[in-house]
Amino acid sequence: MPILQIEHAISDFDMWKRAFDADPVRRAEGGVRGYRVFRPLDDPHYIKVDLEFDTQAEAEAFRGRLENLWSSGRAAPALAGTPQTRIVELAAHEG
């Protein structure tokens, strides 16, 4: 299962979370099967998001949708800096 990993700085977590929950890129419609949001314990102004897809092509297409969103300041109000993305797959798992 391909996973689109996104990491970026944010200015305000609550504002970012409201925008994320509003789902302006329509995650389910874009093929997202599930997601996880992480915050470093020592940095409340940074997040990491894992988005799960059935195919690599869906993950790549969704990354393009996100890049369009990020270029619009209105749609990504708490974004600080440039997001970093990569598409990965689970190589090993325990538990």
When pLDDT is cut at 50, 70 and 90, the band that residue 73 belongs to is: low
When pLDDT is cut at 50, 70 and 90, the band that residue 70 belongs to is: confident
Amino acid in position 7: E
Domain boundaries, the chain: 2-89
How far CA 84 is from CA of 9, 17, 92, in Å, comes to 10, 18, 23
The single residue listed with the structure tokens 């102004």 is 45
Check whether 75 has a pLDDT greater than 90.
Answer: no
Query: What pTM was computed for the model?
Result: 0.90
- Which residues face 48 on adjacent strands? 7, 38
Cα(2)–Cα(90) distance, rounded to whole angstroms? 8
> 24: buried, middle or exposed (CB in 10 Å: 19+, 13-18, 0-12)?
middle
Cα(62)–Cα(53) distance, rounded to whole angstroms? 9
* CATH code, 2-89: 3.30.70.100
